Amino acid sequence: MLVEKWETIEERTEQLRRYQLCLEEFAALDFYDNYVAQIKQDYQQLTEIVKVQPTPISER
């Protein structure tokens, strides 16, 4: 799924935020399948790329 190229750290950070939001929503729904597993893997890869600590939604 990580086929996009991001030009700036802001774009990477925004994509990381989106992945985190998806994972939190899936967790709230108690939903899990191969698609969610792929999102989790992409999220972990993106976290390494961006090298920032994700902030909880409540702190935004």
Read off the pLDDT of residues 1-59 as tens digits, 9 standing for 90 and up.
554 666 788 888 888 899 889 888 888 887 778 888 888 888 888 888 777 555 555 55
pLDDT of residue 11: 85
The type of residue at 25 is: E
> In sequence order, what are the residues at sequence separation of 6 or more whose Cβ sits closer than 8 angstroms to the Cβ of residue 60?
none
d(CA 23, CA 27): 6
Residue ranges covered by each domain of the chain: 20-51
pTM above 0.95, yes or no: no
pLDDT of residue 60: 47
pLDDT of residue 4: 61
